[in-house]
Structure 1
Amino acid sequence: MWKRLKADTPWAAKLMALADTEVRRATAAATTTARDTTLSRSSAAQASRAVLASLPDFRTGTAPASAVYDR
């Protein structure tokens, strides 16, 4: 939760409660989707954010997506 001034929000608590492997699976899939050169940049970004919908409270908006990343 490196971008959050306060990480005690309900969605952050749900995200932090997930197994690391589950978050890494979702972010790896989102990264792969974002790098899909067969899609336009905007389509790849939209599809990549959609992949993150499996994570808690990542169904709307784009800001939460910037708080997770794949190493």
Structure 2
Amino acid sequence: FEGCQGLEVYMDVIKACFTAIKSRDLAEHYRKYLQWCADSSIAKALEPYLLGGWPDTLDSIRWPGHRREV
């Protein structure tokens, strides 16, 4: 998909879960990709494998410039 720089997937064997980290050229490229996932059957197909489903996955995205309180 446009702007994709890479995808890293890590497995936590203790929690038996995966974490995916995607890098994009621009946040707008990723927004377009997410919209495509939502408009196609991709989001529905992934739903059973996503912790908290598609909505929680969208909420977990950390956008550039996002800061968390420490």
TM-score using structure 1 length: 0.31
Larger Rg: 2
Query: Which of the two has greater strand per residue?
Result: 2
Q: TM-score scaled by structure 2?
A: 0.31
Structure with the higher fraction of residues in helix conformation: 1
